[in-house]
Amino acid sequence: MVKVLSSREGYDLYANEYAGDHRKLDSFDRPDFMQLLPDKADVAVELGIGDGRISGEIARRSENFVGIDISLKMLQNAIRRSPRTQIVQADLAENLPLGDECVDFLVAAFYFVHIKNPDLIIAEAARVLKPGGIFLFNLIPQRREPELKAGKQRFKIRSYYHSPPHVEKILDYHWFNWDVTTVTEGKGWVSKIYRCQKT
Ligand SMILES: C[S@@+](CC[C@H](N)C(=O)[O-])C[C@H]1O[C@@H](n2cnc3c(N)ncnc32)[C@H](O)[C@@H]1O
């Protein structure tokens, strides 16, 4: 039986392999996702920044860019890839280590798939964003954790499936104005990208 690890343990183990997955991750939705970035932001924060796969472009468009992640190894790779990033190690499963109404742009790519309670993160997004601020994130239809390999170790990283209608109800509850871009492949969707504005 392959072990299912927590995000911290799993991504610390997998950090140096992750760049090998960039092309596959990019193929889900990168052009659509990047097109939804704001042109400029004073304060931008990326939740679950990972190794900074998409951070260079966000950092270039922001005066202040902060990347937060639970995995120190992923953060070390993020800072190498995008040196202007201010990094913070924190567990973001339940709350965000940020003040009220201080963020212009909050972004979370391939992050909700590791979060058990999206309602807590969306409530926190509503708290930390400035009025008019944007929260950009994606959902993927992953129902089973893929098996990963680092050296001789094989493992999975705990993940959760969130149905789009459920997440949309939470966005409505917090009065976000939101739009969704659905990226399809064959008969099904591979990514739903939510661009949510705090009212
Ligand atoms: C699939 S990776 C995505 C990385 C990056 N956003 C990207 O698009 O390539 C998920 C990231 O979320 C981080 N993560 C998962 N659960 C977390 C938590 N509870 N708090 C903070 N970061 C978490 C993981 O360590 C990992 O770096």
- pLDDT per residue as tens digits for the range 94-112: 999 999 999 999 999 999 9
Average pLDDT, the chain: 97
Mean pLDDT of 8-22: 98
Which domains are assigned to the chain?
Answer: 3-198 (3.40.50.150)
Answer yes or no: is the C-beta of 110 below 6 A from any ligand 1 atom: yes
Answer yes or no: is the C-beta of 118 below 6 A from any ligand 1 atom: no
Number of H helices, E strands in the chain: 6, 10
Answer yes or no: is the C-beta of 70 below 6 A from any ligand 1 atom: yes
pLDDT higher than 90, residue 87:
yes
Give 48 Cα–ligand 1 centroid separation in angstroms: 3
- pLDDT per residue as tens digits for the range 57-75: 999 999 999 999 999 999 9
Give 195 Cα–ligand 1 centroid separation in angstroms: 19
- pLDDT per residue as tens digits for the range 126-175: 999 999 999 999 999 999 999 999 999 999 999 999 999 999 999 999 99
Answer yes or no: is the C-beta of 94 below 6 A from any ligand 1 atom: no
Task: From residue 117, give the alpha-carbon distance in Å to each of 26, 38, 112, 128, 137.
Answer: 25, 27, 9, 17, 15
Q: Which amino acid is at 41?
A: A
**Residue 117, phi then psi, degrees to nearest 5:** -120, 90
Q: How confident is the model at residue 1 (pLDDT cuts 50, 70, 90)?
A: confident
Answer yes or no: is the C-beta of 159 below 6 A from any ligand 1 atom: no
Question: Which atom of ligand 1 is nearest the CA belonging to 50?
Answer: 27
Looking at residue 88, its pLDDT comes to 98
Q: Is 69 helix (H, G, I), strand (E, B) or coil?
A: strand
Looking at residue 166, its pLDDT comes to 98
Token output for 155: 């493992």
Answer yes or no: is the C-beta of 92 below 6 A from any ligand 1 atom: yes
% pLDDT > 70, the chain:
100
